[in-house]
Amino acid sequence: MPSAAHVVFIPAVLLVGMVLGYVMGARAVRAEIAKQKSRRRE
């Protein structure tokens, strides 16, 4: 049986990973859109 620390720690780590992935992914998408817009202007 997992201890109480596992019940709290594992979901917390998963949540932090999901948030970081969302933030980094959104930043990459915004950079790619800006790159495409600058290509169209040229």
DSSP conformational letter for 37: H
Domain that holds residue 28: 18-42
Is the residue at 34 inside a domain? yes
Is the residue at 41 inside a domain? yes
Judged by DSSP in three states, 3 sits in coil
Is the residue at 42 inside a domain? yes
Question: What pLDDT is stored for residue 13 in this prediction?
Answer: 97
Is the residue at 28 inside a domain? yes
Is the residue at 3 inside a domain? no
Question: What pLDDT is stored for residue 5 in this prediction?
Answer: 87
Q: What's the number of domains the chain is made of?
A: 1
At 1-42, the pLDDT tens digits run 888 889 999 999 999 999 999 999 999 999 999 999 999 876
Is the residue at 29 inside a domain? yes
Is the residue at 8 inside a domain? no
Distance CA 14, CA 10 (A): 6
